[in-house]
Amino acid sequence: MASSGPVWVVGSDGYRVPGRVVSIASGRLKVKLLDGDDVLDAKAQDVSEMTEIGESGVEDMIQLSELHEGALLENIRRRYSHEQIYTYTGSILVAVNPYKMFNMYGMDYVRRYEGQLIGKLPAHIFAIGSAAFAHMMKAKEDQCVVISGESGAGKTESTKLIMQYLAAVNKGSSSLITEQILEASPILESFGNAKTVRNKNSSRFGKYLEIGFDSSGVICGAKTTDYLLEKSRVCTQAEGERNYHSFYELCYGLSEDDKKKFGLASVEDYFYLNQGGASVVAGKNDV
């Protein structure tokens, strides 16, 4: 094995991570990890050659010659380091939350992806919306987009972007219904989202959104079903977390006259609202 070649090495947690061999002695190898300055002392059987995937990785991970967790994560990491937050695995889109907005969700991108097959253009969430809409119109059958991930992965924002795309390609003469659907989202967030230690706007409930179309592809209505609301958060929050947004929006947003009318005090007066010590969220306007 070449001492300077890229390799996989089994880390302390049992997962393979990428590195480069820096020395070999007595059947053991010193491997410097590609991500960071750590050097691992590994047995020869725990080190294997790595097939190079390029500085920016590959767009569709089906093209990887090595299909294991380490290879998938390294490919996603390389793409993310080049601000490529979307990666395909066939028809599945893997999205990494950049915690900032990129200028790639405007009408120019909607027009670019409208009617295009997955894989024809760079990986993008609009491609998923386009594929679902195209299959619905062609097969005349319901389509489902499943958006999943851990807390802070970007599920709420991804849902908004899919809805934004479908609203933008809506062929109806009036935009009233699509506007009502999009504007309902912040109201749901107020009653079901809260700040956690990992996410400023974490959804604390499950949501199933159905959007209805007529035979010509025009949006004609929507229905949202919510379930599994985290009820315990109403009376208990961990350090650095807070209750649901709606409570703070009432206390901070109402005028003094309205607060007196409804018998409301300030946030600091309610233990259920201040026990986490995070009643104010940076970057969020509760007024």
Q: What is the mean pLDDT of each run of 10 residues along the chain (287 residues)?
A: 74 87 87 87 90 92 92 95 96 93 94 94 97 95 94 90 93 81 88 93 92 92 91 95 96 94 95 94 89
User: 43: how many CB neighbours lie within 10 A of its CB?
Assistant: 11
Coil, strand or helix at 77: helix
C-alpha span between 167 and 177 (Å, rounded): 9
Residue 189 in contact with residue 156, Cβ under 8 Å? yes
Q: E strand or H helix at 87, and its extent? A: strand 86-89
- DSSP designation for 205: S
Whole-number Å distance between alpha carbons of 72 and 64: 8
pLDDT of residue 4: 62
> How high is the pLDDT of residue 89?
95
The pLDDT value recorded for residue 141 is: 95
Name the pTM for this structure. 0.86
How confident is the model at residue 166, as a pLDDT?
A: 94
Which residue type sits at 171? K
